[in-house]
Each structure stands twice: as C-alpha cells, then as structure tokens.
Chain A
C-alpha cells in the first residue's frame, strides 16, 4: 500500500519545487505575465495531482486493490485467497465436490446473478458423472485463467468459476442469468409508424438489437470498462470505412480518459465526454430506439451503449437532429416535411410565447389588434400583478404540475394533470389571479414543449424560457432579441467532436438542407450528409428511377 502511495507524494511536491526554482533562477528575465502563467500551470498541475491522488484512493479499495496474484494448485488455498479478497460476502456460494477423477473441486458464484440450472446440469453433473466422456464443464463460453484478479472480476460479473485441485487454471463459465427486463416499447420516444422495440438494461441484448438491423461485416464494436467501482461495460460502435476515423478515435480516447468511480447511466458518459460542459444544450444524443442508432451509424456517427441503461448515446450530434424523429424517414416525405415545420413552430412557441405575451402586454400594446387588446385588458383588469409576475407564476405552476405528474404512480398521474390544468386554472381565472389569455398561453406553451421528439433537447428549451421571460419583462421585444442573439452566439460556438453544432445551417451546406426543415424524398438523398466527414458518400446507387 505504501509503495503505491509513495510516488504521489513526490508528484505532489515536485511541480512546485520545479517551477519555484525556475522562477527564482530566471527572475530578471521573466515578465509579469509569464510568471502568472507559470503560477497558473503549477496550480493546474497541483489540481491534477490531487485529483489523481483521490482517484487512486478509490482504486485502492476497488478492483485494482485486488492483489495481482497467481492462483496456486491447491484448492483449499485458492478458496481462502478468494474469501479473503471478497471479505464477508454472504451471497457468495462456494460449492465443493469431487469430480470423476476424485479430485477436489470448488465452484464459486454469486447468488442471483447466475442461472443455477446451468451450474447443476452442465458443470457439476458433467464433471461428476462417470459415463460422460467429455472432460470439463459443458458451458457455451469457457475460458481459463490463473490470475486472481481476473477470477474476482468474473465472479462479480456473474460467472461461475470452477477450481480443480492440482490445476492452477480456473475455469470461467458463462452462467450469467439474472432477471432482466425484456425488450419493450420505448417509453420516451414512441412513434406511430416504426419498430416498437426499445433498448433494455442489458448490454448484450442492446448490441444484438443493433446487430440484427445492421448485418454489415464492417460494424465494429469496441468493448471498454469505465468506473473504478461499478466496472461498467461500454460498447463503442461504428462502421469502419464509413465513419471518420479521427472522430471515432476522439470518442474512444475521451471515454478512456474518464476516471470516475461509478457509471450508473449513460448520462454520466454523456456529461463527461461532451465538448462544452457548461452548455444548456445537449451535444450528444441519447435514444431508446435501436433503429435511430442504426440510422445514425449509417450517417457516419458513433454509437455508445452502456450496460445497465436503456439509453444509448450517439456522437457527434448537431442541433437539428434533436428535432428530428426516425418516423420522419418512414412516412412519406410530404407529411414528414409538414411535421417538421410543425415541430419548428412548436419549439418556437415553447421558447417564446410567454415572453412575447409579456413584451406585447407591457411594452408594445400598440402592436396587438385593437379589439384583441380591449379583450385582453378586460381580462387583465382584476389581475393584481404585472404580466411578468403573472407569467412566471403560471409557468412555475405548470412546471410543478409536470414534475408531479411524472413522479405520481401511473393511474394517478394524468388525473393530477387534468385536475391541475382545468380545475386550478379555471379557479385562478375566476378568482381574478390570472387572466384567461395567460391560461391559454401557458397551456399552448406546455403542449408545444411536448412536441419535441427529444426529451433532453426539450429540457434546454424549457429552462431557457425563464431567462427570456425576465428579459422580456425588462426590455420588451428588444430583450427577447438580445437573448436570442446570445443563444445564437453560443450555439454557433459549440462544436461536437469537431462538427459545428449548427451545421448544415452554419457553415451553410445547401445539400444538407435537404434533410433539415424539409425531408426530401429518399431518391433525392442519394448521398450521406457531408458534415460528419463520411468516407463512403453514396447512400443509394440506383441509376434510374424505379
């Protein structure tokens, strides 16, 4: 233990000494700015050492803490070794028996993570029954190792480990068989037309869902393990010869650099590898739909599947793809284009409608047609608050309702929504707390924000609604425009893995516009979008129309 920690103390003190001595040595020649930057570098280095120090403390207690020993040939000794490493584990089952050759055997597994039938029928029975001529266990995946660390890791991930006396090799039998959710329809991205299967929590099932849609021998799957404690399995998928190799390597290297103790959901990976961590906009797409992942793999992107979550990731992502649904490509292009325009309008409504109401009613009433302005004024005559407070109050109420209806158990949720929206809204209007127009606006805004196909992108719009309302309350339409420009500057500064977030709008790519606001018919989209630097550009090779 001491040997492990030693270098960190050296690493901790060395940068300070180094920069200090350099600083003293060349003091005369160094300008103020450079001294400052040296201080900055020393500070950064100190921060890094502290980080790696604390991470190594985690590692000490986690998998790397398992001493890297070689198993001995004696079963009893090995049992005590494994027991020592796993400590007081009451769900660890150790079954000792004698095999055909009367050698002592022991089988290790964690209760609940294995399929017990396989262990009894194909491991214990095969190795003990004398009339079976086959040597060894008869499982579909069998490996052998003599490393203690490997054995421990495999026991923890649901493998039955078989030890035989007189042999330092341990047999690793794949007996993983815990209860898993079956493939069901995705909850957050339902479509009218399109496949109904969604990802589940098991990695191998998810990758199979992609494989059976994409029988391309060039589909590459890279396995990685992230998380000091959780040891979460991750698959990085891409199509070789199609995806731009630097993007793939960037994704892999960013995942490799993650040094975190737990990955419980793909959201951890998403937030740790995205380019701009402070941005409200998602720069990696998450999806529950395997067909969406396949479609994006075919556009030269990289898919990331994380064990234990039904949400896969797609990187890089551009702004427009958060407002597109796989359904757009399955339906005929007229309706798909119409639906895309409706989505654009609904997103604009979700972001701007309350603030437009505030701006119009408190700054620019002359813009509203005179009959409407009289009606609005009549409705607002009893309202004791300025329109900004009124709008904020109502938006807050609707956010509370929305959150409550998500948390409430299934059958009650919609009821609460109806009760909240109808009863409370109606009562608030008749009590003179809010104007009837405000109720309409809040309702339309909320409906508009539900029309976005991607939940995480809708979150950004939901959040940004509040600052734009406050700015509209301060400066009217001028404030709204200020805010929009700030957002546009921010959006155009984002890059996701080297791809401009606003492409194909900026940098302008006229061919990319075929699949932006309109969805051109398939026979007009013979090439893939070029913004992801695909290597195989042609998607459709028919020379003449069918």
Chain B
C-alpha cells in the first residue's frame, strides 16, 4: 500500500514550531537550581543574571541563524564540508570539518546524559524515594528512543504540543508564589562588584545551553526570514521564565535561605499553595509535568545528535533507529559516571563552559570563514518529510 504524502507543503517547521523547539529545549533541569546558583554570586540581584546573561545567547542564536541563511536547507553537518573544502578537494573539506562536527555531536551526546542524570536525581530524592535512579534514566532514554524512531517533522510537532504544558505550570507556580513574597528581600537592588556579575552570568550558562540544536534544525525553517525571529522569541521566552523563577525564589525565600536548599524551584513549589485547588503539596504534580520539559531537552538534544550522525554517514531512517538504540547503552554508563550530586553539578558546569565555547566559537569561526571565502547562496527551503 502506498504511503505517499498527499501534500508536502506542511513539512517545514513553522515559526511557532521553531520557537517552541528552542524554548522547550532550553527549559529543562537548569531551572530547578537556577535561583540558588545565581543568588550565590549576586545575592539579592540574582534575577539580573539570566536577564543579562541572555545577551550572548541572543548573539549566538543570531549568528547560528545567519549561518543557516547562508546555506538554506542544509544542516550544520551538511554545510561544514562546503565551508572548509573547495570544489576541487571535497574530501579535504570533509576531513577539516570533522573535528568541529565531532566536537559538536559529542557535546550533544554528553549533555543528554547529564540532563537525564540530574532529573533522575531530582525524582529519586524528592518523589519516588524507593525507585532506583537507573530506572528513571532508562525510562527517559526509552522515551527519547520512541522519538528517534520517527522523522524530523514529528520532533517539531511534539515540541509544539508539549510546550504549553511546560510553560503553564512554571508560570502558575511563579505567579502563585508571589502571594508569599517578601518584597524587601529584593533590597538592596544591587550591591556586588562587577566581577560578581560575570560570575553570576557564568552560572546561567548551563541553563541557557541547548539552542545549539538549531545548527541542525534551522535547515527545515519554513521561511528563511523567520529563523532569527524564532530564535529571539524562543530565547526570550526562556529568559522570561528564568528571570521570573529566580525572582520568585529570591522574594519568597531570601538569598541566604536559597543557599541551603539543593533544588530551590522545587522548594518553591512545595511552599506554594494555589487557593481553591484541592491538592496539597504540589511538588509531585510539578515534577510529573516537568517530565515533559526534561523530555524535550533530552530528546531534542539526542535527536539532534542521532540525526547528525545519520547525515554524517549519509544513511536513512533505519540507520537512525538502530544507531540511537545502540548508543543509549554507553550513554547510560556516562550518565551514571558522576558519583554524587556535587560531581553532577561540577560536570554540568563544565558542560556549560564547553557550550559557551562551542556556541559562540563555532558560528563565529564559520561566519568568518564564510565571509573570507565569500560563500553562501539563497536556495529553496527544505522539507522535513524525508
């Protein structure tokens, strides 16, 4: 029986799909610790960190979008050999681009493991006390494997569907917690040296990583003009959510108290009471809904990784299905590598730094090379169907 597509027009990512792809990838486990890490450096002004820290993220996503505009319909994996090679030596370009591509893919791979591990820790320590950590990680990986069985357009649609589900609880929690707010906790507005500001911004880096998947998925953008817009909307929503959560944490607890809890956002949920709601103690419900947020982070990064591998080896969907299942096995052991929660936070902070270099370095380097060689063209958009 033929399963041919009746219409291929809808197979590109719309503006809203790109926006939700970026924002839902960004919003993940980082938000659970963000109030503590930023206020550790900036004290009362912790909420400034995500606001100011988003600046370089905007810059980076702008560069990624511009880079993608130069090679419309091509992913990072596909245009890398073109950037580094020439018509005469296509093989040379392939070899020269390999370090960047492999570095990028490796980063996606490792960040998947850390996100799954952090979420596993949260679930095991706060909700499912008797469940082994391994089970949570494995179930997260199985979900991501489910997604990797499908083509790219499914990825866009599932993000679009889950995004309101991610945004809604975090906004409700933040706004409902303002009932208990002690606004004096915010004062004095700013009293730290400039150096601390940079340290605070540095703490947000990990929470903001994840949009680098757009190096691949911008290839499917619906209209080429919407890439920058989608990037800015996505980052903007994430920045808003982060600022709101950090602000809520500071005004409810005060920065001293925030230092003494490992998952401040979860504590915020515990203390929050939504009037008229039958349920007491919302943290289990919040974490359950937060599975969606973590799923979009883990699965999007892993999908980008597997899809990148698929393109690197020039294979089809069958290869993607098999390789994603196989590569979960080493990933599981990588996720279990950090021995305790301090190790995990250290690892995630390292990953944050790597992401900073990667996300600013790769697009900048590529753009410089592209400008120097005067490359780039305007071609048609690409379809996500196959």
Contacts and interface: CB of A to CB of B under 8 A. Distances in A.
B284 A476 contact: yes
A246 B281 contact: no
B292 A363 contact: no
B292 A481 contact: yes
B281 A367 contact: yes
B5 interface: yes
A481 B289 contact: yes
Nearest to A258: B1
A253 B10 contact: no
Interface string B268-294: 000000000011111011011101100
A482 B291 contact: yes
Contact of B4 (A244, A250, A478, A489): A250
Given A478-B123, A489-B150, A493-B150, A366 B280 contact: yes
B7 interface: yes
A505 interface: yes
A364 B284 contact: yes
Contacts of A533: 7
A247 interface: yes
A364 B2 contact: no
A486 B144 CA distance: 9
B10 A507 contact: yes
Given A244-B6, A478-B127, A488 B14 contact: no
Interface in B1-36: 1-7, 10, 14, 16-17
B104 interface: no
B280 A500 contact: no
Chain B CB within 10 Å — which of A476, A495, A497, A506 has the most? A506
Interface string A472-497: 00011110111001101110110101
Chain A CB within 10 Å — which of B7, B127, B146, B157 has the most? B157
A80 interface: no
Interface stretch (B65-73, B91-99, B158-166): B158-166
A222 interface: no
A412 interface: no
Interface in B277-315: 278-282, 284-285, 287-289, 291-292, 295
A364 B129 CA distance: 11
Contacts of A478: 123, 127-128, 136, 139, 287-288, 291
B354 interface: no
Contact of B7 (A476, A488, A498, A506): A498
A372 to B, nearest CB: 8
B147 interface: yes
A370 interface: yes
Nearest to B7: A498
A5 interface: no
A367 B282 contact: yes
A369 B7 contact: no
A489 B147 CA distance: 7
B281 A488 contact: no
Interface in A448-477: 475-477
Contacts of A499: 6
Interface in A352-369: 363-364, 366-369
A51 to B, nearest CB: 12
A508 B16 contact: yes
Interface residues of B, number: 42
A476 B291 CA distance: 12
A486 B128 contact: no
A109 B351 CA distance: 83
B143 interface: yes
B131 interface: yes
B141 to A, nearest CB: 12
A257 B292 contact: no
B10 A500 contact: yes
A61 interface: no
A367 B154 contact: no
B143 A482 contact: yes
Contact of B288 (A369, A480, A490, A506): A480
Interface in A294-332: none
B7 A244 contact: yes
Nearest to A364: B284
Given A246-B7, A492-B158, A498-B5, A363 B284 contact: yes
A273 interface: yes
A497 B14 contact: no
A254 interface: yes
Contacts of A247: 6
A359 to B, nearest CB: 8
Given A254-B1, A498-B6, A508-B17, A368 B279 contact: yes
A189 interface: no
A477 B161 contact: no
Contacts of A502: 157, 161
A358 to B, nearest CB: 13
Nearest to A495: B5
Interface string A260-297: 00000000000011010000000000000000000000
A269 to B, nearest CB: 12
Contacts of A257: 1-2
A326 to B, nearest CB: 26
Contact of B285 (A246, A272, A477): A477
A540 B14 CA distance: 28
A488 B159 CA distance: 10
Nearest to A246: B6
A341 B293 CA distance: 26
Given A477-B288, A481-B289, A485-B295, A505 B6 contact: no
A82 to B, nearest CB: 37
Given A366-B281, A367-B280, A475-B139, A506 B157 contact: yes
Nearest to A499: B6
A369 B139 CA distance: 30
Contact of A488 (B17, B136, B162): B162
Given A250-B6, A363-B284, 20 more contacts: A254-B1, A273-B1, A275-B3, A363-B127, A364-B285, A366-B280, A367-B280, A476-B284, A477-B127, A477-B284, A477-B288, A478-B288, A481-B288, A485-B143, A488-B161, A489-B158, A492-B157, A498-B6, A500-B10, A508-B17
7 contacts: A244-B6, A273-B1, A477-B127, A478-B127, A505-B161, A506-B158, A506-B160
